[in-house]
Structures are given as structure tokens and as C-alpha cells.
Structure 1
Amino acid sequence: MMGEWALVLFTVFSQMAAGAFVSLWVLDTVKGNMKEATGTFVSQGVVLAMGLGLLASLGHLGHPLEAYRASAHFGTSWLSREVVLFGLFFFLTVVYYWQWRTGGARRLVGIIGSLVALLAVPTSGMVYVLAAIPAWNNFGPILFFLLTAVTLGPLYAAVLLMIKQYSLGKSLFQFVIAALACSCMSFALYLSLLISAGDVAALTGWNTMLSITFWLRLFIGWIAPLGILGYVLARQQWHISRYVILVFALVLIGELLGRELFYGSVVALTMFGL
């Protein structure tokens, strides 16, 4: 069980860091008026999130001190590619933070880091595209990992920016609304496809829907934040600093619940020998 939660924390926090890094780079590139103290603070938060994710991943290993061995088969193993890409991404987040802090040229590192992030997240999803597990042997893991990055990452960046009193426009929140809606509809479609597939995939779908974790994930991670952001949209109040932390917390809890559901639904089936 500890190993399962190590994977939950690693995947969610690494994807959050990837999305936040890209968000910071986009804001810095498009708006170009961010103070170095603000960028330093946000980039430091990205380093912290990625560092926590990597630290959590060690809990899944029987021998944490030999974690470097996981990168030995880059040419043939998606797991090795995941280890190498997220290791490289963590290094780039540290460099990016240092460049913000020292006032150095950061655009090139921002571009490379964003590209590595965009490669690392789907690579992490490919680790779980397994023929032995029909519910995972599809585009689902890649799609949901990417959706975690594009929903949770910008919100994490928004919280850090709000702490530094950086003014955020409506575009970021409109993007998050669209991403959350896409995530919810994609998961509904995914469940319907699983249930209609029959055999083990259908059992996974029903096992998911019958779980209390699924309903908590639905209300906490999708309905509640969409309701808050929808209320703000209806009132045209885009300076929503008082809502940002709440929305971020709800989405983070929802993503953690969803990832536990991702691993737990299949684990539950293996208990019955399926």
C-alpha cells in the first residue's frame, strides 16, 4: 500500500511541477513584466514540488540507494525514459530557478525545460500502457496524466503568483475551466468505454464507479472547483485571489484521489485473481 501511495504522490507532484513550469515560462514570455523576485519565488516552488515528487518515488523502491539503475534501459524501457526525463527536468528546474535568482538569461532554459516537461508527462503515462491490464492498455493513462499537468500546474503557479501579489488575468482561469471540463468529460467517456468493453476492463469500470473514492473525486476534484470558477465567470470577477487557494486545494485533493483510484481499482481486481 505504501508503494502505491509513493506512485500517487510522485505522478501527481511531478505533473503539477511540469504544468507549473510551463505556465511560468509562458507568462514570462507572453507578458514579459514579471519581477525577478516573483519569478524566483514561483520557480523555487516548482523545484520544491518536483523534489517532493522524486523523494516520494523512492518509497516505491526496495533499494532506494540503487534508484540510478532504473535509467539503465533508456532505449527499451518506458520506465527508464521516465526516470531520465524527470531527472533531467528536475535539473532544469534548479537551473531555471538559479537564473531567475541571479538575473541571468533564462529563456533558453525555459524553452528546453518546457519541452522536456511535455515529453516527460506522456512518457510517464506510457509506463502504464500494459497489455496485461486491459483498463490501462489504451490512451487513458497518457491523457489523464497530461490533464493533471494542465489543470493542477497552472493553479499551483497561480497560488504562488498570488502570494507575490502578481495580477493574473482571466485567460489562465478560462484555460483551467476548459481543462477541468475536458478532464471530467474524458473520464466519463473512459468509464463508459471500459464498461462496454466486457471482461476484466468492465470489472475495472464497475469497481471504479462503486468506490466511494470515485464519488469523492467527482465532487471534490471536478464539480466543486468548476462550480466556484463558473460562479466567478458568471459575475465577470476575474481577480479572484480569495478563491485561488481553495480551488487549487480542491483540485489537488481530487487529483490525489483520482490517482489512488487509478492504482487501487486494478489492485482490487488482482485480489480476486483477475
Structure 2
Amino acid sequence: MQSMELPLVVFTVFSQAAIGVTVMRAVRTTADGAGAEDHGARREWGLIAGLMVFGMLGSLFHLGHPLSAPTALNHLGTAWLSREVLFAGMFTGVTVLAVLVAGITGKPALAWLGTLLGLGVIVSAGMTYAPPALPALDNGLPFAFFLTSAVILGAGFGSWFAGGGRAPLMARIFTTALVVGLVLNLAAPWIWLSGGTVMRMTGQAWLGSAFYWAHVLVLLGCLGVVWKTRTIPAWLPVLALMGELAGRAGFFADTIHTAANMGGLY
């Protein structure tokens, strides 16, 4: 890709944060049961909707003609990008509806509907950013990166609304996702170094990238804080968000396209 693509960085990270918080809400409200109090529902759904709307607005700056954004739906039968736009639009609609009806309708229903639509967004995005022209990502890695980001940010921001009873659960999920994220990010570039020319160039670019190392250091820092405190301090999800933004910037800026080696030896 070799371009930071700030609008796509904003869209993918903030939308995955919104999806992750929705998943955590679905898990918590289902586990708590129908009789549990849920005074923070509107605030939590407000955060989810705010993250998603911000991401959607950010994505418009990637378009040459933002007013023509609906035409992205024209190829649902053949293009994963069109499916990503459709799922993202439906997910956004569910989050806005949830803000309006918070405290009125059944607790888990909209959260689980949002979870299904959100997973549709992540699967579609994983396929969109795994083209053959990016040999390092022409596999399941984009989906793995995106899902891991969603769980890290979802558990992190979800801890704001979990209460004392569910805080340990959020901390366990957060810790597990951080470990998975570290393994993925540390292993991938070294594996790429053993691949073909363009894949090897990608591995070298990632290992030489400030974005990459900033992301790894934030993951390690977050893991260290949770290990020491056994909980998720209120400020830590914001740090995790900064780390995911840095990592996503590197994802777009440092992944080498086959055109970069045009005319070279493979």
C-alpha cells in the first residue's frame, strides 16, 4: 500500500473499537441476566455510536467524491468493499437506534445484532485488504489483526461500563487479546523475511518502521500495567487506542505492493 491512508486508519480503528465494545456489551448483558440493572446503557451505546460515526465520517476523506459514497454499494455481488460498506452502514444504524431506545427494549438483543453486523464489517474488511497484489497480506492476517484490535479496544473501553462484578472478566479478555496481538505482530515480519521478494521487502519495512515499534511498545506497556495492577485503569484504553492507530498507520504505510518491485527480479 505504501501510503499511510489516514482516513482508512481512522475508519478501521474506530469502527473496530465500536464493534469490540458492542461485543463486550453483548457478553456482559447476557451473562448478567434480564433482571440486572443497566444504568449506563445509554452512555455505553453513545460511546459506541460516537466511535462508529467518527470512523464513518473519517472514511469520507478517502473518497474523491464524498457525495457519491452510496455508489460503493453498487457491487455487492462481487466486491468485499461494497459488503464492508453495507455492514458498516447497518451497524451504525443499530448503534444509533440503541442510543434512542436504551433502557426501553431488551438488553442483549441489539447488542447481539450489532455483534453479528460488526463481525460482518471485520470479515469484509479482512477480505478487502488481502488482495494478491499485497503478498504479505494475501491470507488471513488482515482479519486476525482487525479482530484482535476490536477485542483489545472493546475490552478496554468496555471496562468503563463493566462495574466491579465484570471488571475482572474485561481484564482477562484484554490481557489475552494483548498477548495475541503481540504474537501476531512479532511473528509476522520475521515470517515474511523468509518469503518472496515483495514479502521480504514488507518484513524489512515493518521492522524498520517507527509505527510498528510504537505499536509493539504500547502493547507491551498495556500488558505490563494490567499485570501489575490486575485491572484496567480508566486511562489505559486511550493508550491502547493510540497504539492501534500507530499500528494501523504502519499496516497501510509499510506493506509493500507488488508494483513497488516492477521491473525488478523476483
CA distance in 2 between partners of 1:98 and 1:25 (Å): 18
Query: Could you say if the C-alpha distance between residues 47 and 199 of structure 1 is closer, same or farther in structure 2, counting changes exceeding 3 Å?
Result: same
Q: Distance in 2 between matches of 1:8 and 1:196?
A: 28
1: distance between equivalents of 2:44 and 2:130? 33
Cα distance in 1 between the residues matched to 2:189 and 2:91: 32
Give the 3-state SS of the residue equivalent to 1:85 in structure 2: helix
Equivalent residue, structure 2, for 1:201: 199
Q: How many residues align?
A: 260
TM-score (norm 2): 0.91
Cα shift readout 1:233-256 (whole Å, capped 9, x = no counterpart): 3xxxx4x5xx231x2122111100
Q: Match of 1:110?
A: 111
State the partner residue of 1:29.
30
Distance (whole Å) between structure 2 residues aligned to residue 115 and residue 268 of structure 1: 32
2:125 corresponds to 1:124? yes
- The two structures have a TM-score, normalised by structure 1, of 0.88
2:264 corresponds to 1:264:
no
Specify the SS of the correspondent of 1:197.
Answer: coil
Q: Distance in 2 between the 1:203 and 1:111 partners?
A: 41
Q: CA separation of 1:16/1:45 partners in 2, compared to 1, >3 Å: closer, same or farther?
A: same
Other-structure match for 2:238: 249
Alignment of 1:11-26 (within 5 A): 11-26=12-27
- Contact in 2 for aligned 1:204/1:269 (Cα 8 Å): no
Question: Cα RMSD over matched residues?
Answer: 2.1
1:48 aligns with 2:45: no
Task: Tell whether 2:176 aligns with 1:175.
Answer: no
Deviation at 1:79, TM superposition (A): 0.3
Instruction: Measure how far apart 1:192 and its partner are.
Output: 1.7
The one of 224, 228, 235 equivalent to 1:227 is 224
Paired residue type of 1:230: W
Q: CA deviation at 1:269?
A: 8.2
Question: Could you tell me how far 1:217 is from its partner in structure 2?
Answer: 1.4
Q: 1:2 to 1:136 in 2, by over 3 A?
A: closer
Note the 1:70-219 alignment, pairs <5 A: 70-101=72-103, 103-159=104-160, 161=161, 166-167=163-164, 168-219=166-217
**TM-aligned CA deviation for residue 16 of structure 1:** 0.4
Contact 2:126/2:146, CA 8 A, preserved across alignment? yes
Question: What code does the residue aligned with 2:224 have?
Answer: G
Q: Distance in 2 between matches of 1:79 and 1:112?
A: 21
Shift of the alpha carbon at 1:37?
A: 3.3
Structure 1 residue 36: deviation in Å?
4.2
8 Å contact kept, 2:29–2:107 = no
Distance in 2 between the 1:266 and 1:3 partners? 10
| Gap change, CA 1:229 and 1:4, over 3 Å in 2 | same
Distance (whole Å) between structure 2 residues aligned to residue 92 and residue 34 of structure 1:
22
Measured in 2, the distance between the counterparts of 1:3 and 1:57 equals 13
- Whether the 8 Å contact between 2:3 and 2:252 is mirrored in structure 1 is no
Higher relative contact order (CA 8 A, sep 6+): 2
